[in-house]
Amino acid sequence: MKEIILICLSIWVFSGLPGVATAGSDEAAIARTIVESADAVTNFPQTKNYQKVFQFYTEDYSAIQDGVVATRKMTEQSYRELGEMLKDGMPMTTTAKVSNVRAVASSGMGWATYDTFIDVHSGELAMLKGDMKCTGLLRKIGSEWKIQHEHCSSTRDQSDKARKE
């Protein structure tokens, strides 16, 4: 269950398609990458194609979510397993939304801060639900921005709620 939650969080983090950047639009392309990677996470239960999620990430991607470290390899394996469970008929819905994206770019490197909401359900069971504050580091590869590292933390309200449960 912990692995599925980590996968879901990774999907959420990876949501978005890489933006094609032109002079003066790198910040917009970074923001587009972040938002579209969340859309890819939302669509994963329908597509069951983890590669559509990971197209937004570098090969050396890593993440930290509430103190839990994940590499791209670990996250890909979790998505593969989740995809197989979905193909075997496990019901699942995912909603990943990103808001308040603030991006900065400089010389092929960029970063963004953003708020994320994730809601993952299997039937009536809520597997993961909450708000997070995130910072992403991105690298421009060719004309695309790819997410290299993300650090997300649950908001205080979510952390307090989890401690009480």
Establish how many alpha carbons lie within 13 A of residue 154's alpha carbon, considering only the half-sphere containing its beta carbon: 17
Domain count, the chain: 1
- Whichever domain contains 53, its CATH number is 3.10.450.50
Contact 103, 109 (CB under 8 A): no
Cα 99-100-101 angle, rounded to 5 deg: 95
Contact 118, 95 (CB under 8 A): yes
> Residue 48 is part of which domain span?
2-164
How high is the pLDDT of residue 121? Answer: 85
How high is the pLDDT of residue 7? Answer: 55
Closest CA to 126 of 134, 136, 118, 135: 118
| pLDDT, one tens digit for every residue, the chain (165 residues) | 555 554 555 554 444 333 333 445 999 999 999 999 999 999 999 988 888 999 999 999 999 999 999 999 999 998 888 888 888 888 888 899 999 999 999 999 999 999 999 998 888 888 888 999 999 999 999 999 999 999 999 987 654 454 454
DSSP state of 98: E
